[in-house]
Structure 1
């Protein structure tokens, strides 16, 4: 029996050599080789307002654009958000997920079947004269099977998983961009609302004093009830705006708390801030918008998702062709009957399987994967278009709010001058009190509009940096998996080196192929 086993080992050796030769001459992987689509209109696209609005010193690094506001509280809030934001933590865990999936795909290139089996049995046999003899039998076997990657099925699977992993990295960067923009927008939204409340309260104090004067004059018979009711109406109207502003302020604070993964209104950083808004302009960048668009994290994500789907077409096409596998089994069987020897068996050889009668299902799966690829390519084109639209919208918003601010500041100056003149003329007896009330109302409106527009201008600059894809930094294993999260994962599951090994990046950031 041992001699027979050696013969089968020779068969296994020859089969392995044959498979190695076939593997060496295996054809290129089936399916398309992905190339990032060209965006024809992008090369000549240049927003008209992009150049004129550029002020200040050149800046190529937009990863920490908020530093240009020179606000330590804002800097502190963004650092805290990056450490605690639930959305960023989820994006980081998706990188771990895609990393594990890449390991699954890579493992399929090696023997897919590695199985050890064993069994035992107890039996009795009746002899002559009614005597029973008990005996046991045992069997064990080790089986291995390896489907050769003749059509590139497993290579395409690794390619797809690799692209999906890079897409998860880009998605993490996009989450950083959005988070920085949201924190900055809410922070300056809070300061804008604080200033609007201050303006309303200052005007309320002034209008309350006017109301008291008209009431006193009316009670003394020196003024008409019309002036009294108009003063009262204006006072109450201004007073009614404050609860709405305070509600907006509380909602903004709660939204910021949520970004920081804190309970509502848990913002000790804001206890010492005032309502002052910075005087800032969007600064220049040396790259043209077309170059910045293709580096935006959401555009990179769309490109990598298309690359991942492209490889799925090749995986589906591989099912149209036969699969060649090598198999081998080493078995042992024995018993405790002395007259029967234990047996060792070895079997090995190639096997072929081919779904020749199911081409309709397979071909339609190929078509489905190809349709999904085309959808991904269209989604990539749409992401570039959306990025261009956002940059153009943001550039126009910056320009127009800046123009509006100049006009509103002049209008506010005129309103304040008008109020001073109306007050003096009333005190001197040259005009009635209605002129004073009208001037007060105009000053309040112009003050509120000027502050609101100033907040809108800051928000527009923040939106421009977001549209340009600024605000992200390259992820590393320590940032995507904080220490407490790593400890939780390690206690629950054996993660091997995935929680420690450095993250892999594509050879050149911004390209989906080498």
Structure 2
């Protein structure tokens, strides 16, 4: 290629390089729910002393001060199959962005061939047959698609937003797994505690049955009392399997979350009989922090950005597409390769365009509708996040009140049982009446244990709704692909 040709090609590329981008530039609309002051306000915690407006820490499960729980979470973040799946989906989205981002790079290529054959004489205007000869060719080429109206840039912008949405999906998988690990561990601990209380209630009832049988044998009782005691004993015995199944189910779920087979759990997990408790009030932050932290909100916002960029891609189809190309090489007899008579070169700028049709304009309107739908979905995700968090706060507050009442009932039953046992030891109360008081205490303890289990579930659901738990996991990922920078 001559110097003049190279200069002309470079000048044309430079002149077309200052291209424009059709379609709307993305920005979050001012009227989006996300931007409303009410959405960013503090939560209504109903004067709940167990809830604070302090910022939610990244590793919220460490608020329970349970080293084993922290170990379980870290193992799940490293080995859980849902997290691994979301991570590889992010890798795929990131590479898709890389493909779109580099779509308008200058392309270089070449080809070479060598062989023996005969060239058509008539094609060359000759009347005599040419001899068989050794033929060779070597050609290099260069091509460049001028993104005059920003079609490729908009496509890269959409792919970059898609990659960031995949990053948010990975973060969502992480916080979901963290919450499930904490919840399963809590369920196992509470099931052990409830099973222990149920076994204690059964033990009391078995003693009551034994007393009724002795009274009947001594002629001081009757068969109706024995039958009633027997029925109550079996009814309490029937309560044990559900608690055992609940614990087994929680342990199996926990093993799966850790990427382990059923029954393969770290030492000490199955031995937990008392679920860890929060050492301080549950921190929630405010609406503004929630909206910035929740991965599903970030994913919906990035999907809105991608949908907006797609409008530009569709709009650019209305305009011409320009490509620049050139090649240089040698073709001819092998023994003459490299000489002037075998040299060939060409400049090949091209332009393609079709008159816009109703299909093209319909495509633009479809992408605009897609962007409007993405905004509606984004608003819906924001409202759902606020509603979910506020509803869980309300449930937590009411269940705290219920738990407090049940605790007072348990304390009263305990005091009554101790008083009745003292009367029995002094010979002032029958043994069966003392056992009845113990059974009332056991029932109160069972009700309180169930309420405490519900409070643990409420706490985990609240932490999940607040959207924390992915920050440090992302920082420590090491090999994690980085999504595209925002355009």
TM-score surpassing 0.5?
A: yes
TM-score by length of 1: 0.83
Task: Give the corresponding residue for 2:125.
Answer: none
Task: Give the corresponding residue for 2:90.
Answer: 95
Write out aligned runs for 1:105-504 (5 A): 105-111=100-106, 113-123=107-117, 133-271=131-269, 273-280=271-278, 283=281, 285=283, 287-336=285-334, 342-356=341-355, 359-419=357-417, 433=432, 439=437, 441-474=439-472, 479=477, 481=479, 503=482
1:400 to partner: Cα distance: 1.1
1:189 to partner: Cα distance: 1.1
Query: Would the alpha carbon gap of residues 148 and 475 (structure 1) be closer, same or farther in structure 2, given more than 3 Å must change?
Result: farther
Distance in 1 between the 2:15 and 2:130 partners?
A: 56
Distance in 1 between the 2:429 and 2:236 partners?
A: 27
Partner SS for 1:324 = strand
**Residues 198-217 of structure 1: CA distance to partner in whole angstroms, max 9, x if unpaired?**
00111111111111121222
Partner SS for 1:328 = strand
1:287 to partner: Cα distance: 4.0
The answer to whether 1:83 aligns with 2:78 is yes
Task: Give the corresponding residue for 2:124.
Answer: none
1:271 to partner: Cα distance: 4.9
Partner SS for 1:268 = coil
Write out aligned runs for 1:43-58 (5 A): 43-45=37-39, 46=41, 49-50=44-45, 52-55=47-50
1:16 to partner: Cα distance: 3.1
Query: Would the alpha carbon gap of residues 420 and 469 (structure 1) be closer, same or farther in structure 2, given more than 3 Å must change?
Result: same
**Residues 249-293 of structure 1: CA distance to partner in whole angstroms, max 9, x if unpaired?**
111001011110011121133357431234437636584223322
1:395 to partner: Cα distance: 0.8
How many aligned positions are there?
475
Greater shift, 100-109 or 38-47, is seen at 38-47
1:139 to partner: Cα distance: 2.4
Contact 1:124/1:132 (8 A) holds in 2:
yes
Query: Would the alpha carbon gap of residues 132 and 306 (structure 1) be closer, same or farther in structure 2, given more than 3 Å must change?
Result: closer
Partner SS for 1:234 = helix
RMSD over aligned CA atoms reads 3.2
Partner SS for 1:269 = coil
Distance in 2 between the 1:261 and 1:286 partners?
A: 30
Task: Give the corresponding residue for 1:509.
Answer: none
The answer to whether 1:67 aligns with 2:59 is no
Query: Would the alpha carbon gap of residues 300 and 40 (structure 1) be closer, same or farther in structure 2, given more than 3 Å must change?
Result: closer
Task: Give the corresponding residue for 1:493.
Answer: none
Distance in 2 between the 1:125 and 1:162 partners?
A: 52
Distance in 2 between the 1:455 and 1:293 partners?
A: 29
Distance in 2 between the 1:349 and 1:338 partners?
A: 26
Query: Would the alpha carbon gap of residues 222 and 88 (structure 1) be closer, same or farther in structure 2, given more than 3 Å must change?
Result: same
Distance in 1 between the 2:464 and 2:269 partners?
A: 27
**Residues 413-437 of structure 1: CA distance to partner in whole angstroms, max 9, x if unpaired?**
333445556677789587795x667
1:102 to partner: Cα distance: 2.0
Structure 2 unaligned blocks of 5 or more:
122-128
Partner SS for 2:449 = helix
**Residues 146-171 of structure 1: CA distance to partner in whole angstroms, max 9, x if unpaired?**
11011011111221222222222222
